[in-house]
Structure 1
Amino acid sequence: MEGIALLSPVFVLAACCAGVMGYAIRRSGTCMVTAIDEILDGRRTERLFALVEAGLWVSGSILVWRHLGGHTALPVGYPPSAASALGGVLLGLGALLSGACMFGAIARIGSGQWAYLLTPLGYFLSCAMFSARFGQRPPMVGGAPLLDAGWLIVPLTVFAAWRARSAWQAARRGELAAHVWHPHQATTVIGIAFSLLLILVGPWAYTSALLALAEGRHSGLVIKLALFAVLLVGAIVGGWSEGSLRLRLPPLADALRCLAGGALMGLGSLLVPGGNDELVLLGLPLLQPYAALAAASMALAIVLGRFLVRPQPTHAL
């Protein structure tokens, strides 16, 4: 990413991917909290499976790209630890407090819920305050286990062909736009756009851009922040296209809740290490054990938190 210049062809293409990704996040409503709410309240798993599918697209894209001789920088792994589990719990509690994970915050911003602008701000402030104490990365454990599971390229390619066939059938019926921007398929678009970003500029997640800014790491920072800005614009365009964008000041209580939730998620990401967007779109697709541990801890914290705060039924005397 260091050698990429603003307005270069590579950056312009990467910015297009970031914009599409932001638009898709808004259209899909992608969020771990929403996915778990859907399971607990609606007994449905569509959004959870959509998140899994986004990760599958990243896994398949990396394997195919490497098989074709392409090279891209991949994040190193870390050993699973108690810190990873605790970080996942803090990610879950922060998402529960704010009402959305770091993915979901982008979707909420896109719909004009401006209190969620304070979620990334809280994340940044937490990283800036605590990175010196909790931001020390554990010893690296080498590359990505996914690359040792090359046999997965066959089933993942078959899966991609099946999804492409569905899109082709929708196009023949004149329903391609409705098909692509259905919440489930929009999450697929997130995975594809992220995969292209990974190939073009290497590992990138907007939470990592905020962390780099908090820690004063200037290498590639302008590119990272520019992609973050385009991601936000894409989400806002998505909300505007749906007619859900509103210009109104958020209640103070909502603003403080989003700020505090973002701060908790920032601290959690330092311990994991990595934010929930990195876990879903990088760590889990690369089959990293520490990412699986942190994601499971995050999900468990959200589930337990939901049961604790859910109103208890009252019984007539």
Structure 2
Amino acid sequence: MSEFLTNISGIVPVAARLEIWASVALIAALGFVLGFAMNRGSICTVIATKELISEKRPARFIALIESAAWAALVYAILETAPMMHGRWSSLGFLVPAAILLGIGSYVNGACVFGSVGHIGNGEIEFAFTFLGIYAVVYIESLFDLFADQPAIDAAPSLGVALPALALLAIVALRLGVSRRSGSNFRRLTLAMGVVGVTSTVLAVLAPGFSLTASFGPIASIPVAGAVIPLSMFGGSFVSARLRKHGFMLRWPTVTTMVKRTLAGMLMGAGALLIPGGNDTLLLIGLPAGAWQAALAYVLFVATIAALVVKFGSIARAWT
């Protein structure tokens, strides 16, 4: 299906063009639903880590792992192996890259998921986060620093039984801690299920795509590379508009624009070296059972946690 997307402007039969537009519409719809869920569930690793460290509330952090279990289950049901751009870096690159990704996310005040949610809330300054990310990956593409890195299949997905059991265990654990912390269990359950399912289907339809991946896969799937982020932002915006007091347009200052751009550049640099941001680690690497993804995500979270302990954080959920 992804081959159709690269030829959308070509001269093709009417039936093929209809299939192309149907594919584009499906990808747009999935991206919209994904962005809607990110905003509605206040899904962000920085927020989850801050709640875990400062408020002793682990529910939101557990929910992030839950999204990985959902993704693993969908891959198993579809009998498809997760696909990522290039191979995992060696430890010499992976470790500092994960730390760099954590520093950038902390400075930004939100990870990639959280930035999508903030934009939907009207916080335009977070658009500069993605400007910084794409500036880095565009520069990488100009110099071909990671040339000849096509999308590859990761390790085969696990059978249906194991991810299903893991998912039930994670949900049960979160239910237990939610009763004590007052977390909105139902909303998070629905949001994480939607994120895990829609992101996996999108990964199957547009192999190699990631919000923080190298410019290569975005250039190789130009339609999907543009439609998915735009539809995600649209879904996040609609979600915020539907919530009472959920949307308030905030114009950025020069200081915040510079801060978000620099933070995005740090996040983009880390994602290039891993390769992939927290979206790739959670929704592709962990479902594939890659130890590199597990290590990178632990280091990413540990970096944010250390910075929260040292300097504190004003990051907070908006629902």
TM-score class normalised by the smaller sequence:
0.7 to 0.9
CA deviation after TM superposition for structure 1 residue 254, in Å: 2.0
* Match among 58, 74, 91 for residue 81 of structure 1: 91
The answer to whether the aligner puts 1:301 opposite 2:303 as a matched pair is yes
Q: Give yes or no for contact 1:17–1:197 (8 Å, CA) kept in 2.
A: yes
Question: Does 1:187 find its partner at 2:192?
Answer: yes
Shift of 1:134: 8.7
Residues in 2 aligned to 1:270 and 1:60: alpha-carbon distance in whole angstroms:
27
User: 1:86 touches 1:272 (CA, 8 Å); kept in 2?
Assistant: no
Structure 2 equivalent of residue 284 of structure 1:
286
Contact 2:66/2:167 (<8 A) preserved: no
Q: Which runs of 5+ in 2 are unaligned?
A: 9-16, 172-183, 314-319
Match of 1:61 among 70, 74, 79: 74
Cα-to-partner distance string for 1:155-183 (whole Å, 9 max, x where unaligned): 4335668999xxxxxxxxxxxxx986x13
> Deviation at 1:252?
2.6
Supply the distance in 2 between the matched residues of 1:60 and 1:203 (Cα, whole angstroms): 19
Deviation, structure 1 residue 204: 2.7
The answer as to whether partners of 1:30 and 1:107 remain within 8 angstroms in 2 is yes
Q: 154, 157, 168: which one pairs with 2:164?
A: 157
Match of 1:129 among 119, 128, 139: 139
Determine the C-alpha separation between the residues in 2 that align with 1:112 and 1:125. Answer: 22
Q: Deviations over 1:190-213 (max 9, x none)?
A: 1111122233333432223xx32x
Structure-2 change in CA distance of 1:44 and 1:134 (3 Å): farther
1:14 and 2:27 aligned: yes
Amino acid at match of 1:31: C
How many residues are aligned here?
286
CA contact (8 A) 2:206 2:224 kept: no
Structure 1, residues 265-307: CA drift from partner, whole Å, max 9, x if none?
0111111111221111111111112212211111111111122
Query: 2:252 is matched with which residue?
Result: 250
Q: Kindly indicate whether the alpha-carbon contact (under 8 Å) linking 1:95 and 1:265 is maintained by their aligned counterparts in 2.
A: yes
Q: Please give the alpha-carbon distance, in whole angstroms, between the structure 1 residues aligned to 2:41 and 2:108.
A: 19
- Confirm or deny: 8 A CA contact 1:2 1:219 kept in the other structure: no
Matching of residues 259-274 of structure 1 within 5 Å: 259-274=261-276
User: Partner letter of residue 201 of structure 2?
Assistant: L
Instruction: Evaluate the alpha carbon distance shift between residue 64 and residue 115 of structure 1 in structure 2; reply closer, same or farther with a 3 A threshold.
Output: same
Is residue 79–residue 289 contact of structure 1 (8 Å, CA) maintained in 2?
Answer: no
Q: 1:106-121 residue pairs with structure 2 within 5 A?
A: 106-121=116-131
**Does structure 2 retain, via aligned residues, the 8 Å contact 1:137–1:273?**
no
> Are 1:202 and 2:210 counterparts?
no
The separation in 2 between residues aligned to 1:227 and 1:24, in whole angstroms, is 14
Deviation at 1:262, TM superposition (A): 0.4
CA distance in 2 between counterparts of 1:258 and 1:50 reads 26
User: Following the alignment from structure 1 to structure 2, what is the Cα–Cα distance between the partners of residues 296 and 161?
Assistant: 22
- Whether the 8 Å CA contact 2:45–2:61 is kept in 1: the answer is yes
| C-alpha displacement of 1:237 | 0.7
- Identity rate of aligned residues, in percent? 25
Aligned 8 A contact 1:122 1:258 in 2: yes
- Measured in 1, the distance between the counterparts of 2:68 and 2:201 equals 13
Q: Which amino acid aligns with 2:204?
A: I
1:90 equivalent among 92, 96, 100: 100
Q: Deviations over 1:42-70 (max 9, x none)?
A: 1111111111111111101111111xxxx
- C-alpha distance in 1, partners of 2:217/2:69? 33
2:48 and 2:60 in contact (8 A); partners too: yes
1:315 alignment counterpart: none
Counterpart CA distance in 2 for 1:127 and 1:184 is: 33
CA deviation vs aligned residue, 1:75-116 (integer Å, no higher than 9, x gap): 264254120111100100000101011111101111111110
- TM-score normalised by structure 1 residue count: 0.80
* Alignment correspondent of 2:240: 239
Give the aligned partner of residue 14 of structure 2.
Answer: none
Superposition deviation, residue 133 in structure 1: 6.4
| Residues 162/136 of structure 1: CA separation in 2 closer, same or farther (3 Å cut) | closer
Instruction: Specify the SS of the correspondent of 1:29.
Output: coil
Assess if the C-alpha contact under 8 Å between 1:101 and 1:276 holds in 2.
yes
**Structure 1 CA distance for aligned equivalents of residues 72 and 217 of structure 2:** 31
Q: Taking structure 1 as reference, are residues 100 and 135 closer, same or farther at Cα in structure 2, changes over 3 Å only? A: farther
Using the size of structure 2 for normalisation, the TM-score is 0.80
Instruction: Work out whether residues 127 and 266 of structure 1, in 8 Å CA contact, stay in contact via their aligned partners in 2.
Output: yes
Q: CA RMSD in A?
A: 3.0
- The residue matched to 1:207 in structure 2 has which SS? coil
Q: Which runs of 5+ in 1 are unaligned?
A: 165-177, 312-317
